[in-house]
Amino acid sequence: MNFLLLPLLTGSLENAGYSDNTTFYIYAAFFNVLLTYGMETSFFRFFSRHKEKNKVFSTAFISLTLTTILFFALVWSYNVELANYVNLKLRYFNLLISVIALDTLVVIPFALLRATGKPIKFSIIKVLNIALYVALNYFFLWIVPEFNIPLGILDYSHDLVTYVFIANLIASLFTFFLLSPYFFKTQLVFDWKILNQLLHYGWPIMVAGLAYVINENFDKWLIPQLLGKEINGAYAACYKIAVFMTIFIQGFRLGAEPFFFNHAQEKNAKNTYALIMKYFVVLGSLMLVFIVAYLHVFKEMIVVRSSYWIAIEIVPVVLLANLMLGIYFNLAYWYKLTDKTRFGMYFSIIGAVLTIGLNYILLPIIGFMGAAYATLMAYTAMVVISYLIGKKHYNIPYDLKNIGIYLALGISFAFSSFYIFDNNLIIGTLLVFLFLGIIYFKERKYLTQLLQR
C-alpha cells in the first residue's frame, strides 16, 4: 500500500518537496528509536520467559507512556526554538512530534499482540493504519485539486508536503483509538526490578537503533547540504524502489523476533536458525534478481516524474545493501538470545562511523552513487563482524557454502542485467528463470518435503 503512495508523491511533489518529506521522516525515525529506548525488544525477551507476564507488560507500558507524555510536553514548550534548530518549518515540527508521540504510545500494545500470537489482529490494525494514510494522501493530493474541493483552514495548496504529514497524524490517531482499550483495561502494576532489567537489556538496543537510523538516513540528510535538495529528492525517491526488499525484511523481522525467543530452548534451535538463514538468503537473492530485471518497468510505475530518474542507477546497490542488512538482522539474534545486546550496539556504531566517514569521502568524488556504496559497505562490514564474533559466543552451523553460492549468483545476475545488458527485458527474464531453475535443482528435495507437509 505504501508502494502505491510513491507514484502519487513523485507525481505531485517537485524534487525539493520530496526532499523535505524525506527529512521529516528521518527525524521521525530518530525520535522513534530514542523514545522507545529498546523497550520493545526487551519486552519480548522478558515476556517470553517471565512467570508474571502481566507485570512485564504493565511495567513496560507505564514506562513508555510516562516518558512519551513528558517528552511531548517538554518539546512542545520549546517547539519554535527546536524547529529552527532542526531546520524544519514550525508546522512540520508540530506535526512531527504529535505523530511521534502517538506512535510511541502504541508500541507495547502492538508488541503484546505479537508476543501472544495474535498476528491477524496485529496485521489488520497495521494495514488499516497504512490504508488510511494512503487514502488521505490521495484525497489531499489528487481528489482535492482534481475536483477543486475547498478545505478552508486546511488549505495548504501552496505547500502540498503539509498534507502528507496531516495524513500521517490522522492515521496515527486512528491507530491509537483502536488500541486505546489497553490504556483502560490493563491492570496497572509497576515493578522497579522488572523496569531495571528491561532498561539494562534495552539501552544497548536503543544505541544500536540510533546508529541504524544513521546508517539508513545519514546520506539523505547530508546530500541536500552537499549536492542540493533536487538531487536528494531524486536519490530518496529511487531509494524507495527498494521497498520490495524492505517489506520482505520487515516481514521477516516481525515474525522472527518472537519466534527466535520462543524456540531458543528447543534441542534443534540452532539448526532451525541456520535453515532460516539459508532460505532467507535464497528468497532475498531471488528478489534482488527479479526487481533489477524489471527495474525500468518499476521505475515508470513507481517514480512517475522523470526528473527523479537521474538517480536510478543506485537501485541495484541499494537493494543489495538492504539484503545485507536483512542478513545482519538474521545474524543479530545470537547476541539477543545470549543477553549480550551491547554487541549489537558496537556493530551498529561501527556501521554508523563507516556510513558517516564514507559519505563525507565519496559524495564529493562520485556524487550520489557514493552514498549508495557507503550504505552497502557499512552493512557488509556489520555482517562480517557479527558473524565472526557470533561464532565464539553462539555458534550456529550456517550453510556458508550454499549461502555464498546463492548470494554470488544473485549479485552476478542482478548487476549483469542492469550494468552490462542495460536492463534488457528478455535477458533479465532469462536470468530470473535461470535463477529459479538453479534454486529448484539444488533445493528440490527439501521443497518436495515442504509441499508434502
Residue with cell 494514510: 133
Q: Are residues 248 and 136 in the same domain?
A: no
Burial tier of 329 (Cβ tally within 10 Å: 0-12, 13-18, 19+): buried
Give residue 162's pLDDT: 92
9, containing H or E segment: helix 2-12
Q: Are residues 260 and 382 in the same domain?
A: yes
Q: Are residues 13 and 94 in the same domain?
A: yes
Residues 6+ apart with CB under 8 A from 435: 285, 286, 289, 409, 410, 413
Q: Are residues 162 and 227 in the same domain?
A: no
Q: Are residues 19 and 117 in the same domain?
A: yes
Q: Where does 13-118 have alpha helices with state H?
A: 15-36, 39-47, 53-77, 79-85, 90-105, 107-115
Report DSSP state, residue 453. Answer: -
Output helix, strand, coil percentages for the chain, rounded to the nearest 5.
Answer: 85, 0, 15
Report DSSP state, residue 228. Answer: -
- Answer yes or no: is pLDDT of 179 > 70: yes
Cβ neighbours, 10 Å, residue 185:
7
The answer to the question of residue 104 being in a domain is: yes
Helix (H, G, I), strand (E, B) or coil at 266: coil
pLDDT tens profile 63-118 = 999 999 999 999 999 999 999 988 888 999 999 999 999 999 999 889 888 888 78
- As given in the structure block, the three cell numbers for residue 227 are 549536492
pLDDT tens profile 250-270 = 887 777 777 777 766 777 878
Q: Is 154 within 8 Å of 29 (Cβ atoms)?
A: no
The answer to the question of residue 195 being in a domain is: no
CA angle, residues 425, 429, 434, in degrees to nearest 5: 150
Q: Are residues 428 and 316 in the same domain?
A: yes
The answer to the question of residue 169 being in a domain is: yes
Give residue 1's pLDDT: 65
Give residue 3's pLDDT: 67
Q: What would you report as the CA-atom Rg of the chain, rounded to the nearest whole angstrom?
A: 22
The answer to the question of residue 421 being in a domain is: yes
Residues 6+ apart with CB under 8 A from 64: 35, 36, 39, 104, 105, 107, 108
Give residue 176's pLDDT: 95
Helix (H, G, I), strand (E, B) or coil at 35: helix
Give residue 220's pLDDT: 92
Q: Is 303 within 8 Å of 237 (Cβ atoms)?
A: yes
Residues across the chain: 453
Q: Are residues 260 and 408 in the same domain?
A: yes
Helix (H, G, I), strand (E, B) or coil at 33: helix
Give residue 2's pLDDT: 62
Angle between helices 119-138 and 2-12 (to 10 degrees): 20
C-alpha–C-alpha distance, residues 39 and 347, integer Å: 19
Residue with cell 557499512: 378
Q: How confident is the model at residue 362 (pLDDT cuts 50, 70, 90)?
A: very high
The answer to the question of residue 201 being in a domain is: no
Q: How confident is the model at residue 249 (pLDDT cuts 50, 70, 90)?
A: confident
**Considering only 8-17, 137-146, 339-348, 418-427, which range has the smallest mean pLDDT?**
339-348
Q: Are residues 166 and 222 in the same domain?
A: no
Q: Are residues 381 and 424 in the same domain?
A: yes
Q: Are residues 285 and 184 in the same domain?
A: no
Report DSSP state, residue 101. Answer: H
Q: Are residues 72 and 130 in the same domain?
A: yes
| Domain boundary pick from 137, 158, 190 | 190
Burial tier of 158 (Cβ tally within 10 Å: 0-12, 13-18, 19+): exposed
Q: How confident is the model at residue 388 (pLDDT cuts 50, 70, 90)?
A: very high
Of the candidates 235, 211, 216, which has an alpha carbon nearest to the alpha carbon of residue 225?
Answer: 235
Mean pLDDT score of the chain: 88
- As given in the structure block, the three cell numbers for residue 239 are 531509494
Residue with cell 517547539: 79
- As given in the structure block, the three cell numbers for residue 400 are 556458508
Domain that holds residue 315: 211-453
- As given in the structure block, the three cell numbers for residue 322 are 538492504
The answer to the question of residue 228 being in a domain is: yes
The answer to the question of residue 283 being in a domain is: yes
Of the candidates 158, 226, 215, which has an alpha carbon nearest to the alpha carbon of residue 376?
Answer: 215
> Domain count of the chain?
2
Cβ neighbours, 10 Å, residue 321:
25
Helix (H, G, I), strand (E, B) or coil at 86: coil
Higher-confidence position of 334 and 104: 104
Q: Are residues 86 and 215 in the same domain?
A: no
- As given in the structure block, the three cell numbers for residue 407 are 548470494
